[in-house]
Amino acid sequence: MDLEVQRYLVECIESLRFLRSQYGAGHENVRESLASAGGVLSAFRVSKAVSDAEFDDWIWRAGEAAGLILPPRDAPRTGMHAAAFAEDPPKPGQPPVTRPPTPAPVQWDSYARFIRMLPGPDNELVIAGGHFRVLGLELYDTRMRFHWRIAPPHDVHELYAEDARAHARDTEGLPDAEREQLLARWRGHQQGRIWQELTVTDDVGTAYRHLDGGSSGFESDVLEIRSSLPLLRSKRPS
């Protein structure tokens, strides 16, 4: 395969992985990017820039990066003919996929009344070499905002080992300096992935939904995140 073609395909695959980490598999943005990658690959195949075998290989990689549930690679037909997102309804003969219910939109006033600030526990959780600590919790009448910090940061190669191996596979054959540059960008994308995967629970079964968030810090120093989640209840607390 020509290096320029591979570079373009690596960009497509990395874009899919990034969108999946930000929005989740099955999101509209992921589906559109996957369709775009499929169109690019089809054009490359028609122009003989990729062989039929390379097309099957890279269309599989695109589906893998997008989070598709894929059939075995040694199936009689390759590609994504029997693939599906976990969010899709099951096809005939396939077992149903268990998915969490979609929370209803919040209908309350846009402002939130501050109640109190709670300090976080004086302990840390080690995640892939990173030390995770909850610093504090802002409690409002309809939502909450929690502050947390990872220092030192987690090792994305350990936490996302499967994606790391896939990235190394996709960039194999490119010049070493270029692979290092792409790897540094991949690490940057994966570094912020962890706060998209955090969930909040309590001891009374309240349902929470991620609302917004922000971060500051450096890859080799301190990472500080703030995530805001509304409190979803049947009626507004008094």
pLDDT digits (tens, 9 = 90+) for 40-64: 899 999 999 999 889 888 888 888 8
User: If you average pLDDT over residues 174-180, what whole number do you get?
Assistant: 90
**Block residue for tokens 């929690």:** 146
**pLDDT tens digits, residue range 89-142?**
555 555 554 555 555 554 545 567 889 999 989 999 898 888 888 888 888 887
Q: What is the pTM of this model?
A: 0.62
pLDDT at 119: 92
pLDDT at 24: 77
pLDDT at 234: 39
Q: Are 111 and 141 in contact (CB under 8 A)?
A: no
pLDDT at 49: 92
Is the torsion defined by CA of 23, 216, 207, 197 positive or negative?
Answer: positive
User: If you average pLDDT over residues 132-154, what whole number do you get?
Assistant: 83
pLDDT at 114: 86
**Block residue for tokens 């995770």:** 132
User: If you average pLDDT over residues 167-181, what whole number do you get?
Assistant: 90
Q: Does residue 218 surpass a pLDDT of 60?
A: no
Q: For the purposes of burial, counting CB atoms within 10 Å of the CB of 200, is it exposed (0-12), middle (13-18) or buried (19 or more)?
A: middle
Rg of the chain taking only CA atoms, in angstroms: 21
Most confident of 26-35, 42-51, 131-140, 190-199: 42-51
Between vectors from CA 57 to CA 54 and to CA 61, what angle results, nearest 5°?
135
pLDDT at 224: 54
> What mean pLDDT is reported for the chain?
76
Secondary structure letter of residue 84 according to DSSP: B
Secondary structure letter of residue 69 according to DSSP: B
